[in-house]
Amino acid sequence: MKQLLQETKTIAVVGLSNKPDRPSYAVTQYMQAHGYKIIPVNPACSEILGEICYPDLSSIPAPVDMVNVFRKSEDCLEVAREAVKIGAKSLWLQMGVINQEALDYASSHGLTGIMDKCLMVEHHKLGL
């Protein structure tokens, strides 16, 4: 996990909310403050945390290292398919987001998969 976080530079955040009281906002703000390039993915917003927001992963015009998912568990297989399609290197399903089929799909296509863990908590634990 430490190597994954050290090699990751760009994180697309699927389901990022523009509301500061939401976990997705706090986690993403933390990662942004720790030097990661953040790409919000939310069709209802045009900008979050000072970054242009995209309606879906396929609309992002730049390479993505990690896809961090704040969506319902049942929505994750489609996100995993999109992550593979755009050439992401990893798929991170946040704490409480559990979809083994999505994780298996991503893994079978060469992505590193993490499930049911908070990116901010793990980053902090590793002292990065």
pLDDT digits (tens, 9 = 90+) for 47-101: 999 999 999 999 999 999 999 999 999 999 999 999 999 999 999 999 999 999 9
Q: What does the pLDDT average to over 1-8?
A: 95
Q: Which pLDDT belongs to residue 67?
A: 98
Mean per-residue pLDDT over the chain, rounded: 97
pLDDT at res. 128: 87
- Of the options 3.40.50.720, 3.20.20.80, 3.40.50.300, 3.90.1150.10, the CATH number for the domain spanning 2-125: 3.40.50.720
Rounded Cα distance, 18 and 36, in Å: 18
Neighbours of 69 (CB within 10 A): 28
Q: Using the 8-state DSSP alphabet, how is residue 65 labeled? A: S
**77-93 burial, b for 16+ CB within 10 Å, e for fewer?**
bebbebbbebebbbbbb
What's the predicted TM-score (pTM) here? 0.97
pLDDT at 122: 97
Q: What is the pLDDT of residue 50?
A: 97
Distance from chain centroid for Cα 24: 10
Domain locations in the chain as residue ranges: 2-125
- 36 pLDDT exceeds 90? yes
Choose among 86, 92, 76: nearest CA to 36: 92
Closest CA to 68 of 35, 111, 104: 111
Say how far apart CA 10 and CA 108 lie, in whole Å.
Answer: 22
